[in-house]
Amino acid sequence: MAGFTDRHLIPTVITTANPVVVTIVAHGLVEDQRVRATRFVVFPTDVATGMEQLNDRDFVVQHLTTDTFELFDVEGKPIDGSGYTAFVSNGLGQFTLTGPDLDYENEI
């Protein structure tokens, strides 16, 4: 499929804060875009990423900087990561653009 985009953004830091703050250098996202967290696992331990509480969930990104964004649920509530397992940056866990923004990028 010509022009198909499949944006996988690999985080370098994810905080266990309220709200969760994600660092992805030059992520290129804009306020209120939706992303899905995938490949966040706790086992097997040799590839564990931590933050498995984020896995297979959709989020709205808010309060962006060039390299960071905060995670909110689709109802606008901040994601409280204070009880989540610590993130390990190993290149496995990722955020993927979802929803109408992805559809729009694929029309171009």
Distance CA 66, CA 30 (A): 10
- The domain over range 8-107 is classified in CATH as 2.60.40.10: no
Say what the pTM is. Answer: 0.88
* Structure tokens given for 61: 């990104």
pLDDT in tens, 7-66: 799 999 999 999 999 999 999 999 999 999 999 999 888 899 999 999 999 999 999 999
* Structure tokens given for 46: 């040799």
* Domain ranges within the chain, ordered by starting residue: 8-107
Distance CA 52, CA 61 (A): 18
pLDDT in tens, 56-100: 999 999 999 999 999 999 999 999 999 999 999 999 999 998 876
